[in-house]
Chain A
Amino acid sequence: MDMTTHSTLPVDGLSSRCRSAAERIMDRCNDLAACTEDPTQLTRRFCSPAMVAAHQKLRHWMTATGMPTRLDPLANLIGRFDRSTSDRPTGQVLLVGSHLDTVVNAGRYDGPLGVLIGLGLAELLRAESARMPFAIDVIGFCEEEGIRYRTPFIGSRAVAGNFDSALLDRVDECGVSMRSAVESFRKTASDCVDTVGYDREKVVGYIEPHIEQGPVLEQESLPVGIVTAIAGQTRAAVRFIGRAGHAGTVPMSLRHDALAGAAEWIMQVESIGRRTPGAVATVAQMDVIPNVSNVLPGEVRLRIDARHSDNSTRHNLVSEVLRAGKSISEKRGLKFVVDWQEHYPAVQMDAALSTRLAAAVAESGVQPLSLVSGAGHDAAVMAGRFPAAMLFLRCRGGLSHHPDESVRADDVALALEVLVLLVYKLAAEFAPS
């Protein structure tokens, strides 16, 4: 990009500064990826020892940038960059962030990249020595993926003020409650000051940079895109219950094979998902009991994930899928149980903030493309309380939740540049004319 065309802006040489900042961000993504529960692959769940290590690194980098760090009641890590104009203290704050937890055997960019871009933004602004009418809080959310406690967005729900404290009694697969996991985790960060929630009126907005996790930007040869809406999502846990038995001694005609029923249902979920335009429906988790080669499966537990940008289309899809489970079970002499369902409605991003983000993208010389996010994000939860916007970054092959997840440093540099331009734009609106 040729920045000389933007010589009227206070951003001379910004591109090259963003490029070197992007290199540092890529290194830090690698550094954080070393904080894992399993040395053979990247897995960093909510409040795990790996998360303790990740927080230590992040706190160190934040402190080095002159950002005081805080830990909120659910172990979200927040670093504050405050260069507020001293003559006009506003108490206003712009939030930038994403999540620090990962799925099992994850890539290194989904989540942490957004936090590190936030930190990179603060570093760039610090170097600019610019005075701002608002502070910038870089937030590393503690939990977004829903792995450890089978419920996602714990971190952003806490910040957005819609965390149901009954969830604190939920236990993980080892029987550890969320309450005790958070308490032990917080003890590892005793140097951190506690924080309280945000006053809605004081928040300028929430910006989340995140990898696209889909193939559109790559297909369009664009480094970044603006998210207009986040698809609604339903997660449900179901069970097929049959009767276990010896794989040799129970004849086929007397079987109540829970796996056969589950298999038929999985095929149904696929076909219902495929014939609903714009929908995705996935069975990704499945536990066969007892899961031994010579024992007939007595029970199969599954989780389904269904998404669509239109709420009623999604609801219809989910009802159809659950009806299919029931009728398959009746046919096969099994019992079908729906243990729970969680619904996350489709969410629109803030139009005003997104318009400014699109303008910043255009200003950086890139065609502003709008996208719907199929994946859920903290931004969807934050949008319930604050103006929220999302900037997607292109990722190779649309791949994510996979160790081969890949992002180009050039694209990260561009995203940084967009955010610097956005911050100046927002700051200019605060300044007296």
Chain B
Amino acid sequence: MALSGLTIDYTRTQRELDRLAEFSSVSAPAVGRVMLSDADMAARDYLKSLFADAGLRVHTDPAGNVFARWIGAEPSLPAVVTGSHTDAIPYSGKYDGTVGVLGGLEAIRSLQRCNFQPRRSLELLMFTSEEPTRYGVGCLGSRLLSGSLEPSRADALLDESADAFSELRQRRGFSGSLSDVRLAEGHYHAFVELHTEQGPLLERDGLPIGIVTAIAAPAAIRVTYTGEGGHAGAVLMPDRRDALLPAAELALEVDRAARGSGSLDTVATMGLLQVHPGAVNGIPSRTYMEIDVRDVQLGRRDQVLSHIEELAMRIGARRNVEASVERINADPPAQCDPQIAATIEAACHDAGLQYQRMISRAYHDSLFMALLCPIGMIFIPCRGGVSHRPDEYSSPEAIGAGVEVLARTLAQLAEIAP
């Protein structure tokens, strides 16, 4: 699409990113902005004022998701949406998520500046939270929008100080029923998220843009083995019901299961293992493990997951320890829409930017938005592939390139008003 005179004011976007980073519960350069904290509420006010300055119509839903709409020539048509999150885990940096919100805003402003008239409305969506910091559930906003989390379950979530989400959101002014948050399928025409890669590939290959083809989805299970404690000197080995031995056996099986899936895209990790009582001379009586399994293909991931679950039980039975296996979550991976990917590709050509297709191994709100409408994701490089750290960094130019590709993609998807 010919967008004559399209310019991206990336220095302004950088200023806004810097300003946003000042709304933080921890000292700079680290950023911490837990959902609905004082820092988050102040940041929301700042962002909403930016949205209003751009002439966008702003509203919020009972979960605290923020919508800012540029009304198109045909307002009844399903809108084209972009967005991300601005909550940040404590001691993280200023780019994760925020690039998708402030970059999305600049994309809209750049289209306004070159007098583009969209046929469909263009909407900027800021999810109430993507990080699981407060309630242990990631992507709370997009889960509720897509109906992948029961409103009653969400309301009952408790944070560390036993503050329920239902109470907190009301106190922060987000009243109304969470059952009104879910959007109908077809409500949106398309969703495109701009995000830093959080991996090293674009930087390594010297490429400014990554076009995401699929988002790997995590599944997590918790396993508990309960055996029998006892004195590590006095209880002979054949008489033991040591709870650490099955855990060790399972850790090896987790590793083996992922390696044996037949695909490099399968990963499985036992990241957490706690041993009770944890005294050097006490036979372990109980172990607790959390296992994370990811793949871009649902069938393959679930096969590996079920295999691990089955082995966890079988190992427990063979070693005569009580085993309990519970799924924490098992979200489906998402495929990005091939047409949207092609649109992003065309936008890269128009902008004269090189790109590569890639999968996202970390997950994003797009994973859940895929349940509502076709999605696409644009990655930009980040220094050293690091994120969730104070030193995470993407240059203003790299952000500008991503915003330009996003603007061109949104324009194509929203179509020129006739």
- B-binding residues in A (CB < 8 A): 103-105, 110, 145-147, 150, 152, 212-215, 231, 233, 235, 246-253, 257, 259-260, 262-264, 266-267, 270, 273-274, 279-286, 288, 291-297, 303, 305, 307, 373-376, 398-402
Which of B198, B232, B237, B274 contacts A305 (CB under 8 A)? B232
A-B CB contact pairs (8 Å), 16 listed: A213-B233, A213-B235, A246-B362, A247-B294, A252-B255, A253-B259, A259-B270, A260-B255, A262-B251, A270-B237, A280-B237, A282-B281, A284-B281, A284-B284, A291-B273, A401-B230
Instruction: State whether A375 touches B234 (Cβ < 8 A).
Output: yes
B363 in contact (CB, < 8 A) = yes
Instruction: State whether B280 touches A150 (Cβ < 8 A).
Output: yes
What's the least CB distance linking A110 to chain B, in Å? Answer: 8
Instruction: State whether A214 touches B235 (Cβ < 8 A).
Output: yes
Which of B233, B249, B259 contacts A252 (CB under 8 A)? B259
Kindly specify which of B79-87, B180-188, B239-247 makes contact with the partner chain.
B239-247
In whole angstroms, how far apart are the Cα atoms of A426 and B26 in the complex?
71
Residues of B within 8 A of A248 (CB): 216, 218, 267, 292, 294, 361-363
Identify the closest chain B residue to A267 (Cβ).
Answer: B248
Identify the closest chain B residue to A283 (Cβ).
Answer: B244
Identify the closest chain B residue to A276 (Cβ).
Answer: B237
Contacts A280-B232, A293-B271, A295-B271: A303 and B264 contacting too (C-beta < 8 A)? no
Instruction: State whether A307 touches B233 (Cβ < 8 A).
Output: yes
In whole angstroms, how far apart are the Cα atoms of A286 and B236 in the complex?
21
What's the least CB distance linking A372 to chain B, in Å? Answer: 10
Residues of A within 8 A of B283 (CB): 282, 284, 401
Total CB contacts across the A-B interface at under 8 A = 200
Instruction: State whether B229 touches A401 (Cβ < 8 A).
Output: yes
Instruction: State whether A270 touches B230 (Cβ < 8 A).
Output: no
Contacts A260-B255, A267-B252, A294-B269: A285 and B280 contacting too (C-beta < 8 A)? yes
Interface size class of B (residues with CB under 8 A): 35 or more
Instruction: State whether B237 touches A293 (Cβ < 8 A).
Output: no
B238 in contact (CB, < 8 A) = yes
Which of A251, A264, A267, A296 contacts B271 (CB under 8 A)? A296
In whole angstroms, how far apart are the Cα atoms of A258 and B282 in the complex?
23
Contacts A250-B267, A260-B251, A286-B244: A280 and B279 contacting too (C-beta < 8 A)? no
Q: Which of A105, A146, A252 counts the most chain B CB atoms within 10 A?
A: A252
Identify the closest chain B residue to A293 (Cβ).
Answer: B290
In whole angstroms, how far apart are the Cα atoms of A375 and B234 in the complex?
5
In whole angstroms, how far apart are the Cα atoms of A294 and B291 in the complex?
8
Instruction: State whether A402 touches B229 (Cβ < 8 A).
Output: yes
Residues of B within 8 A of A402 (CB): 228-230, 285
Instruction: State whether A147 touches B255 (Cβ < 8 A).
Output: no
Instruction: State whether A266 touches B245 (Cβ < 8 A).
Output: yes
**8 Å CB contacts to A: which residues of B342-394?**
361-363, 385
Residues of A within 8 A of B237 (CB): 270, 273-274, 279-281
In whole angstroms, how far apart are the Cα atoms of A233 and B236 in the complex?
14
What's the least CB distance linking B242 to chain A, in Å? Answer: 7
**8 Å CB contacts to A: which residues of B261-277?**
264, 266-277
Residues of A within 8 A of B228 (CB): 399, 402
Q: Which of A103, A375, A401 counts the most chain B CB atoms within 10 A?
A: A401
- For the complex of A and B, 7 pairs with smallest distance between CB atoms: A263-B251, A293-B290, A213-B234, A266-B248, A375-B233, A214-B234, A263-B248
Instruction: State whether B218 touches A284 (Cβ < 8 A).
Output: no
Residues of B within 8 A of A249 (CB): 198-199, 361-362, 385
What's the least CB distance linking B363 to chain A, in Å? Answer: 7
Instruction: Encode contact with A along B22-51: 1 for CB under 8 Å, 0 otherwise.
Output: 000000000000000000000000000000
Identify the closest chain B residue to A264 (Cβ).
Answer: B252
In whole angstroms, how far apart are the Cα atoms of A182 and B252 in the complex?
43
What's the least CB distance linking B148 to chain A, in Å? Answer: 19
Contacts A145-B279, A213-B233, A247-B294: A294 and B271 contacting too (C-beta < 8 A)? yes
Residues of B within 8 A of A235 (CB): 280
Instruction: Encode contact with A along B211-240: 1 for CB under 8 Å, 0 otherwise.
Output: 000001010100000001111111111110
Which of A257, A291, A303, A374 contacts B231 (CB under 8 A)? A374
B299 in contact (CB, < 8 A) = no
Instruction: State whether A284 touches B233 (Cβ < 8 A).
Output: no
In whole angstroms, how far apart are the Cα atoms of A262 and B292 in the complex?
18
Which of B216, B218, B281 contacts A103 (CB under 8 A)? B281
Contacts A252-B267, A270-B245, A375-B231: A146 and B292 contacting too (C-beta < 8 A)? no
Instruction: State whether B285 touches A259 (Cβ < 8 A).
Output: no
Residues of B within 8 A of A263 (CB): 247-249, 251-252
Residues of A within 8 A of B290 (CB): 293
In whole angstroms, how far apart are the Cα atoms of A364 and B210 in the complex?
85
Instruction: State whether A284 touches B244 (Cβ < 8 A).
Output: yes
Q: Which of A212, A251, A263, A295 counts the most chain B CB atoms within 10 A?
A: A263
Which of A213, A247, A274, A398 contacts B269 (CB under 8 A)? A247
What's the least CB distance linking A174 to chain B, in Å? Answer: 16
Instruction: State whether B264 touches A253 (Cβ < 8 A).
Output: yes
What's the least CB distance linking B101 to chain A, in Å? Answer: 22
Identify the closest chain A residue to B132 (Cβ).
Answer: A294
In whole angstroms, how far apart are the Cα atoms of A104 and B278 in the complex?
8
In whole angstroms, how far apart are the Cα atoms of A249 and B358 in the complex?
12
Residues of B within 8 A of A291 (CB): 271-274
B258 in contact (CB, < 8 A) = yes
In whole angstroms, how far apart are the Cα atoms of A259 and B274 in the complex?
12
Identify the closest chain A residue to B285 (Cβ).
Answer: A402
What's the least CB distance linking B146 to chain A, in Å? Answer: 20
Residues of B within 8 A of A250 (CB): 267
Identify the closest chain A residue to B282 (Cβ).
Answer: A401
In whole angstroms, how far apart are the Cα atoms of A280 and B233 in the complex?
6
Instruction: State whether B274 touches A282 (Cβ < 8 A).
Output: no
Which of B198, B230, B255, B275 contacts A285 (CB under 8 A)? B275
Residues of B within 8 A of A280 (CB): 232-233, 235-237
What's the least CB distance linking A384 to chain B, in Å? Answer: 18
In whole angstroms, how far apart are the Cα atoms of A292 and B277 in the complex?
19
Residues of B within 8 A of A297 (CB): 270-271
Instruction: State whether A146 touches B294 (Cβ < 8 A).
Output: no
Residues of A within 8 A of B233 (CB): 213, 231, 233, 280, 305, 307, 373-376
Instruction: State whether B272 touches A292 (Cβ < 8 A).
Output: yes
